[in-house]
Structure 1
Amino acid sequence: MVDYRDIPFNEVSIIKDVWERNRKFHEELSKFFKHLYSDIVFEERINGFSSFDQDHIKITLAEDDEERLLGYCISTFEGDKGEPQTLHVIEEARGRGIGKELMNRHMEWLKGNGCKTITITVSYENYNTIEFYQSMGFRPNTMEMRLK
């Protein structure tokens, strides 16, 4: 059984190990921008969320019966614009609907807070995740390109 619970921002360090797995996954996946992922530090990335008050950030954990973290999602909004900022489910727990449940909870929260525009950023090379977000109703709009 999977339990889902929201935590306040001051407890976000709970996700550090799983977040790090997500960072390493992206570092290994990226053909051209490995350095962007290898240089990210958890505390610096998370500090970027500290400007949001408790009403504008949602952090949800997915845990098993032994309270082992299986995944998480962090979403934020400003005005009528919302964004699931980071989502990760550990490899051994994938295919059980955990990511979908996390996203559904966050989409409901964003819409319930008046978000009319909800966007998500996903790595161009992360094909499985692109397909996952498309299954959730997201469609490509623009593509950012960078010099290596």
Structure 2
Amino acid sequence: MDVRLRRVEPGDLYYIVELEEKAFGPDAFSLDYLFYLYNRCRDYFFVADYKGLVVGYIVSCREGSQLHVHSVAVVEELRGRGIGRKLLEETIRIARENGLKAVYLEVKTTNTPALRLYEKLGFKRIGVKEKYYNDGSDAYLYALSLEENTPGNLQS
């Protein structure tokens, strides 16, 4: 499957909001919030493009010496084909290039496929955020240290 990663463009946000709604339901980001992230975090906002269609995306924001992954999703029909992994690996690569110390994210405690992916990429579970999501479910806090010999440690 020939999926190309590229930086997000303003017109992509309409497709991303639709993908958000399908993937996350009541926890989906609004179009207004996606525009806010586009304006604030453009350097770490990528889409997976397949034959001109947005089939996945990742948006992360730099916070000091760390990168916070706000959202990553792939269209349901194409999950399990490495698109999410490719988006995460590219984000991690750029964070390293820019000298960031860690990447962190929240993930629903019941999202087993995402948990497996993050752990395969070296993320470590470092905490729990209770009632983090709109439906009252908890999130695990995961971190990936980009510094040697400190896996999973968040540093400022």
User: Where on the TM-score scale, by shorter chain, does this alignment land: which range?
Assistant: 0.7 to 0.9
> Bigger CA drift: 114-123 or 3-12?
3-12
Query: How many angstroms does 1:61 deviate by?
Result: 1.0
2:49 paired with 1:63 = yes
- 8 Å contact kept, 1:8–1:59: no
Which structure exhibits the higher relative contact order, with contacts defined as CA atoms closer than 8 Å and separated by 6 or more residues?
1
Please provide the CA RMSD for this pair.
2.3
Letter in 2 for 1:4: L
Q: Which has the higher strand share?
A: 2
Q: What TM-score comes out, normalization by structure 1 length? A: 0.76
Gaps of 5+ in 1: 28-36
Percent identity over paired residues:
21
SS of residue matched to 1:87: strand
How many residue pairs match? The answer is 132
Distance 1:63 1:50, change over 3 A: closer
The structure with the greater share of residues assigned to helix is 1
Residues 62-100 of structure 1: CA deviation (Å, up to 9, x unaligned): 1212x1221111111122111221100111111221111
Cα distance between partner residues in 2 of 1:2 and 1:117: 27
**CA distance in 1 between partners of 2:121 and 2:105 (Å):** 11
Alignment of 1:39-78 (within 5 A): 42-49=30-37, 52=40, 54=42, 57-65=43-51, 67-78=52-63
The separation in 2 between residues aligned to 1:80 and 1:71, in whole angstroms, is 26
2:60–2:67 Cα contact (<8 Å) kept: yes
Runs of 4 or more above 6 Å deviation: none
